[in-house]
Amino acid sequence: MDVTELFSLKGKTALVTGAAYGIGFAIAEALASAGAKITFCCRSREHLDKALCDYSERGISAQGFLCDVTDEKQVGEMLEKIGGVDILVNNAGIIKRIPMTEMSADSFKEVVDIDLVAPFICSKAVIPGMIERGGGKIINVCSMMSELGRETVSAYASAKGGLKMLTKNIASEYGAYNIQCNGIGPGYIATPQTALLREPQPDGTRHPFDSFIISKTPAGRWGVPQDLYGAAVFLASRASDFVNGQILYVDGGILAYIGRQP
């Protein structure tokens, strides 16, 4: 067998939540390059329309939906329009940087609903169809905060830690049906959302957070969305058929590194 055939996604339909821009867009782009039909969803009409143009500019024929992935009814209606989903990427997420003692329970719950409950809802919705078709792939976009804590992100870290365990539980419960559920844990990725944290200060020095990330990353740089391409295609393809319940951290080595000795 030609080994490259193991990574082909021809004939597969992928649903990537929150893929209007950023990491979700990059993952969808990677899956499309391997031959998958791309469907995606987001909550904003403005973002949806712009994303459709962006996909078209890259030669990708993507189908987009307005959908609140925390709403079971909306997710079910979207899946009826899509038909069968072979690859689900639970990417939609938010973060609220608020000290724990200043964060309301409602704000905490909102983060958990989008970052953890929504992947449960979407996975629950696609699994019966995957069983009928003889298998499928679920990829949960986890985080450094699935393993590490940090100031002001108690809700996000709680949700992403839970998502890691949801990944393992889906693998445990449905692995016998040839469903593989794994996670990608991106490190710190250079996207428009992190641009302000990477801009030089007026005196030409690095932003303090930029310096912090560089000092903690053995690769000595921020990741770029393209760094996630290989992991996404691997976990979506036959190449990972005996990989289940794992989190693949694409972090430049952060989790392996205690930091430089002063």
- Which of helix, strand or coil describes residue 94? coil
Strand partners, 89: 16, 139
Measured CA to CA, the distance from residue 214 to residue 206 in angstroms comes to 10
Is 136:86 a contact under the CB 8 Å cutoff? Answer: yes
Measured CA to CA, the distance from residue 210 to residue 22 in angstroms comes to 18
- Which of helix, strand or coil describes residue 208? helix
Is 183:234 a contact under the CB 8 Å cutoff? Answer: no
Among 156, 174, 229, 249, the one annotated catalytic: 156
Element (H, E) at 147: none
Measured CA to CA, the distance from residue 103 to residue 199 in angstroms comes to 28
Q: Render the burial of 102-121: b for 16+ CB within 10 Å, e for the rest.
A: ebeeeebeebbbbbbbbbbb
Measured CA to CA, the distance from residue 153 to residue 139 in angstroms comes to 23
The yes-or-no answer on residue 21 being catalytic is no
Which residues have C-beta within 8 Å of that of residue 19, sequence separation ≥ 6?
25, 27, 28, 38, 40, 41, 42, 51, 89, 91
Query: Can you read off the two tokens belonging to residue 197?
Result: 């944290």
Between the CA of residue 6 and those of 3, 70, 167, 227, what are the distances in Å? 6, 33, 23, 20
Element (H, E) at 111: helix 105-112
Residues annotated catalytic, as ranges? 156
